Amino acid sequence: MKMLGSRRVGASQVVRPKSTIFWILRWAAILATLAFFSFPTVWLLSISFKPPIEWMAFPPTLVPRNPTFDNYVVLFRPELPKGTAGAMLRVTEPVTKSFVNSFIIVPVATFISVVCGFLAAYAVTRFRVGGAFMPFFVLTTRMFPPAAFAVPLLLYYRWLRLIDTPIGLIVIYAGFTLAFSLWMTKGFIEGVPRHVEEAAILDGASPWRVLFTITLPLVKGGLAATTLFVFILNWTEFLYALIFTSTRSITVPVQLSHYVGAVGRFYGPQAALGVVASIPVVALGYMIQKYLVTGFSFGLLKR
């Protein structure tokens, strides 16, 4: 293996002039991409440090003229920012409750969704359970416009007494992301060669052991990506969170919508909360990166 690798390096060294151009082009492309992706983020950060008078000011300035921490402070201690602007910003409770709710609801719902989806994906891929219809039917749950489903679901939830409860939202989030979990892990499971599993079966392993000790490690990357994506979907979901909560179970996106007042939308605190709310997701994304490079090299060739 190593010899193969060094031969590769040797080959590229022979073709040096061409690879330098590629190298430059590649880095230019990476930098251009980074610029495109980071500019709005930088603008977001910029607004989160600006006082109200600068949010829509022109000519726009990247660095705030009078930077302030008030937008962040008002999230956690609304009573602290002083002055007229401070009084105007003081429109809702501290964000702690919404974070606690989100931290309970979202991970639980994500876990349920990914587990159920993964298991079902395995059944669909390996055993064709439900044939061609069932997985497609699951996918149709994502085709229905949420606004039209809200009131019927609301009626149902009223009957179940699940409105404004964490369980209620967990069930909704888990149920509506199942389609993702199933279809995304399905793709990754299909990338695992069957004969690896077959070999284990022939060795006498039960189906469960095959699933958890053979297949699962090989789709770690896919599971990590799926988990991250489902987590993000649930963490940032707004419409159903708004409709199905009133005071007890509000989540972070609903809290974000509260920063509106007599003079319009309060972009500063909304930006600040957007930044703060993204931190847990960024942390999760950073952690799963190591699972994404599985580099499947068993020395077995795919048929």
Interacting positions 40-59 with other proteins (CB under 8 A): 40-41, 43-44, 47, 52-53, 55-59
Does position 21 bind other proteins by CB under 8 A? no
d(CA 107, CA 63) in angstroms, rounded, equals 36
| Window of 13-21, 25-33, 67-75 that interacts with other proteins by CB under 8 A | 25-33
CA angle 240, 243, 244 (to 5 degrees): 80
Please select the residue that binds other proteins; options are 6, 96, 191, 213, rule is CB under 8 A.
Answer: 191
d(CA 228, CA 195) in angstroms, rounded, equals 29
Per-residue string for binding with other proteins, 83-112, x by CB under 8 A? xxx-xx-xxxx------------------x
Does position 136 bind other proteins by CB under 8 A? yes
Whether omega before 59 lies within 30 degrees of 0, making that bond cis, reads yes
Does position 164 bind other proteins by CB under 8 A? yes
Does position 152 bind other proteins by CB under 8 A? yes
- Phi, psi dihedrals of residue 222, rounded to the nearest 5°: -65, -40
Please select the residue that binds other proteins; options are 69, 142, 167, 217, rule is CB under 8 A.
Answer: 142
Does position 76 bind other proteins by CB under 8 A? no
- Residue 131 is given by DSSP the state T
Please select the residue that binds other proteins; options are 67, 129, 167, 212, rule is CB under 8 A.
Answer: 129
Please select the residue that binds other proteins; options are 222, 230, 234, 249, rule is CB under 8 A.
Answer: 222
| Residues in 262-291 at the binding interface with other proteins, rule: CB under 8 A | 262-265, 267, 270-271, 274, 277-278, 281-282, 285-286, 289
Does position 154 bind other proteins by CB under 8 A? yes
Which of 39/100 has CB closer to other proteins?
39
Q: Shortest distance, CB of residue 287 to other proteins, whole angstroms?
A: 11
Q: Shortest distance, CB of residue 11 to other proteins, whole angstroms?
A: 7
Q: Contact at 8 Å (CB) between 288 and 230?
A: no
d(CA 102, CA 166) in angstroms, rounded, equals 9
DSSP string, 172-208: HHHHHHHHHHHHHHHHHHHTS-HHHHHHHHHTT--HH
Please select the residue that binds other proteins; options are 75, 95, 169, 228, rule is CB under 8 A.
Answer: 228
- The token pair that represents 177 in the structure block: 């992301």
What residues contact residue 143 under an 8 Å CB cut-off, 6+ apart?
none
Helix (H, G, I), strand (E, B) or coil at 265: strand
Would you tell me how many other CB atoms lie within 10 Å of the CB of residue 86? 18
Strand partners, 265: 260
Helix (H) or strand (E) segment spanning residue 223 = helix 220-236
d(CA 300, CA 298) in angstroms, rounded, equals 5
Query: Binding-site residue total for other proteins (CB under 8 A)?
Result: 151
Q: Contact at 8 Å (CB) between 268 and 50?
A: yes
Which of 100/265 has CB closer to other proteins?
265
| Window of 13-21, 67-75, 239-247 that interacts with other proteins by CB under 8 A | 239-247
Which of 104/233 has CB closer to other proteins?
233
| Window of 13-21, 67-75, 225-233 that interacts with other proteins by CB under 8 A | 225-233
Q: Shortest distance, CB of residue 126 to other proteins, whole angstroms?
A: 7
Does position 17 bind other proteins by CB under 8 A? no
Does position 217 bind other proteins by CB under 8 A? no
d(CA 219, CA 123) in angstroms, rounded, equals 15
